[in-house]
Amino acid sequence: MMDPDVLSNLPDNVIDEILIRVPFRDAVCTSILSKKWRYTWCGLPHLMLDSDFWKPQKDTSSFTTSIHNIMTRHSGPITNFTLCIQYWKSCPRIDNLLSFLSGKNIQHLVLRLPRSFELPSSFFTCLQPRHLFLQNCLLLPPPAFKGFDRLIGLELHDVTIPSKSLESLISHCLFLEQLVLNISDTLMSDVIEINALKLRSCDFTGDLATICLNRVPLLAKLSLRHYHEDWKKFDVANFLTSNFFESCSSLEHLHLDYTDVARGQEIPTELPFHLMCVKRLCMCIYLGSDEILCALCLIRSFPFLRYLEIQMEYNILHDMPALVSLEMEAFPDVISKHLTEVKLIEANGSMREMQLIKLLLAKLPALVRMSIKPHTCLEQSAIFKRLADLREFERASPKAEVLFKLV
């Protein structure tokens, strides 16, 4: 006969796996299921105090009570801890919580806090996480702070921090491998030099004029998205003629996203140097003259590029006139010898897009596949007409095929 108390007879590791996969509020409620489950939640290594946990109250009193109950009842290590109170009008004191976590061998720490909340000084002295995610807070490291010795992953989203403090924080985290910066605050007015000898992945969103990759010898993946709160245009010519990528000798994947560029300087045909390791290039651009020439400049500067992806930002002026700079006569030589795959996203069949497609098909001798995902505004009849037009384009590669992806 089956034991009536099935829940009590479940192995401990099975119970733990169940509780880890349910919201923390529900995990606490399982205390009523059986005697064996009563205090099981008190040993969970993953705690997520998200918006669901704080329902229905979002005030200092409920926060203090909940944190006190956790601190007095939880036993064992806490490897992952998430606190989400970014939509609260004010932030309660979290000093005791940070002190509590410091003795729990915290590995992954996520703090989504109300905007402009200043992290207490204890944050910099009592914790040594491996992965740190901060959102919406004021980060002012004390002068004596020398970084997090064990940190390998750092994510800062809308965090207010002086440029020099951020620069120092990154350089003093000697084992940092992954860096995500999404910063638009005015304190980021000075250029920050990134020195991270073990950094392998970097994702930056902000004013590209405020970042300098100084010493990043192992950086393999780089994502750059230009954003400025005052809609400052991106000086792409200055970006390409500078030594921005000079220290990126190990770079393999590059994602570049910018919208409106500053006009003026002439776009170079190549970077001042070649990056031999880059295999993938993804760009999100408008099809202005400078934007297209920027893409071609980068393609030429990555001799062993294998994959190219361009997402065309939709422009109501989709019938912009043809560009002389994209005429075949302007490109007597092959653009890339090793590029095998091209993907064009949100294409709307404009004249400039057709120019670019024609140029790539004629100047990429190793091309195997070009896939085109049309913009959703295009009707299928227009798509088939474009496909017929492409059949007439000269192809440098006998293996090249053009595919339209409708979904």
Q: How far apart are the first and last CA of the chain?
A: 54
Lookup: tokens for 82: 């998430």
Angle at 201 between CA 196 and CA 206, to 5 degrees: 85
How far is the CA of 257 from the CAs of 247, 284, 295, 327, in angstroms? 20, 5, 11, 25
Residue-wise pLDDT for 191-232, tens only, equals 889 999 999 999 999 888 888 999 999 999 999 998 766 556
Buried b (16+ CB within 10 A) or exposed e, 37-62: beebbeebbbbbbbeebbeeeeeeee
Q: Which of 33-42, 97-106, 276-285 has the lowest mean pLDDT?
A: 33-42
Share of the chain above pLDDT 70, in %: 80
The angle, 0 to 180 degrees and rounded to 10, between the axes of the packed helices 380-390 and 351-363 is 40
How far is the CA of 207 from the CAs of 227, 284, 292, in angstroms? 5, 16, 21
Greater confidence (36 vs 214) lies with 214
> Is residue 281 over pLDDT 90?
yes
Mean pLDDT of the chain: 82
Angstrom distance (rounded) from CA 273 to CA 275: 7
Q: Which residues contact 214 (CB under 8 A, 6 or more apart)?
A: 193, 194, 195, 247
Angstrom distance (rounded) from CA 106 to CA 108: 6
Angstrom distance (rounded) from CA 328 to CA 342: 19
Residue-wise pLDDT for 6-25, tens only, equals 656 666 666 666 666 666 66
* H-helix or E-strand spanning residue 360: helix 351-363
Residue-wise pLDDT for 48-107, tens only, equals 888 777 766 666 777 778 888 788 887 888 889 999 888 777 777 788 888 888 888 889
> Is residue 186 over pLDDT 50?
no
Q: Which of 109-123, 147-161, 359-373 has the lowest mean pLDDT?
A: 109-123
